[in-house]
Amino acid sequence: MFYDQVELHLQAGKGGDGCVAFRREKYVPFGGPSGGDGGKGGDIVLEVNPHRNTLYHFAHQKDFKATRGTHGRGKDMHGASGEDLTLPVPPGTLVIDKQTGEILADMTEPGQRFVAARGGRGGRGNARFTTSTNQAPRIAEHGDPGEERWVRLELKLLADVGLVGKPNAGKSTLLAATTAAKPQIAAYPFTTLQPNLGVVALGPSDTFVMADLPGLIEGASEGKGLGHEFLRHIERTRVLIHMVDTTGPDPIGDFHAINAELEAFGHGLTDKPQIVALNKLDMPDGQERFPELKATIEQLGYEVFGISGLTHEGTRPLLGRAYQVVEETPLPPVFTPRTPAIIRPNFEEEGFTVAREPDGAWRVRGGKYERAVRRTKLGLRDALLRLHSYLEREGILDALRKAGVQEGDTVRIAEYELEWREEGREYI
């Protein structure tokens, strides 16, 4: 099976926690705090590997998780960052956010890298919180969780020339005759099920990549048959060779049917240069029909060559002309996001909401406030008081009071439950 689409679940590494520690050295009378920061979590990176040509290596594993950062330690020792997880993808891979449908990256160049999920930032140790008024803070932070997302990878073949035509028009035969590719060839009345790539070498430096793309049927642009599974791969080609079976019941009808599907699909397919190859001239019917078919198609404005993929007759002039047109045709545009695809977790969201839940508890929602609670080590009184001051300053506590919170009520922020107390308004 040709794997050209796959969905992956990516989980970047969590940041390590900060440490609460103090120096107690014999000759350091005023040691002070020495808790180190936690390490950053590992990223998940997609990298173009030119030796890959399908997404088959993702067939049996679709969940990927990077390693977390290690915790900070005493003596100002920071935790190590988690290792990045690099996933190879073939050239021509589109990275799409499954939830939003947004194209995040277009992976075309060998070695190109894209950070698909960023590791969480490490928490700060208590050495970071020293001030002139608090020289012995017992405050440290948890590390941020790593980003988590589903992405869809879609492979669009990077070929210079694409062979299109009805099933059994001879595309696979031409590819096998002119390259080292070995597609399955037989008198099938149905379409090839997967693309095949081959390199055509006209000379030591005159080469181009040619793809035998699955054949079209009527209604392909609406999803019938292989439908978009086929048409997606044509988008990246620079030149089309339209193969026509001269021995078929209605060669001209087949020619128009294929072009109608290309036009219906859109995406600029009809704007690509198209060379017509009238195939199977080794057959008596093909030789007899060739002059009339050539004249008819040339009247439509197309350049026509007569060939036999089986005996190689006429293939050299056809491929020579295709190479010339490839050299004259600019590369198809590569998608580039208007702004760099930066993945922002929900803790960047501004504002907050306060609502009563069915069980009577209060729920505070707001990205950066949920992050502040997650980062706070609630078991440390100094850290809890610092969080209380932050929520008071941001107006969240006043919003809860106006909403009707009472002594002893449960307040939920992120995955944490806190008990409301009004004793001196010191903390929640």
Catalogue the long-range contacts made by 133-138 (C-beta closer than 8 Å, 24 or more residues apart). Answer: 135/32, 135/33, 136/22, 136/32, 136/33, 137/33, 137/382, 138/20, 138/380, 138/381, 138/382, 138/383
Please give the Cα distance from 384 to 427 (Å, whole number). Answer: 7
Q: Does domain 1-155 have CATH number 2.70.210.12?
A: yes
The two tokens of residue 71 are: 């915790």
Fold for 346-425, please state it: GMP Synthetase; Chain A, domain 3 (3.30.300)
Q: What is the CATH architecture assignment of 161-328?
A: 3-Layer(aba) Sandwich (3.40)
161-328 and 346-425 share one CATH topology? no
Is-contact 256 248, C-beta < 8 A? Answer: no
For 210-261, write each residue's pLDDT tens digit: 877 765 555 444 444 444 555 666 777 888 999 888 888 888 988 898 888 7
User: What is the pLDDT, as a whole number, of residue 188?
Assistant: 44
Contact 245, 280 (CB under 8 A): yes
Residues whose CB falls within 8 Å of the CB of residue 253, separated by 6 or more in sequence, listed in order: none
> In this predicted structure, what is the pLDDT of residue 117?
93
- Where do the structural domains in the chain lie, given as residue ranges? 1-155, 161-328, 346-425
Tokens of 278: 């009238």
Residue entry with tokens 């998780």:
65
Segments in the chain below pLDDT 50: 1, 183-192, 219-227, 337-347, 426-428
pTM score above 0.85: no
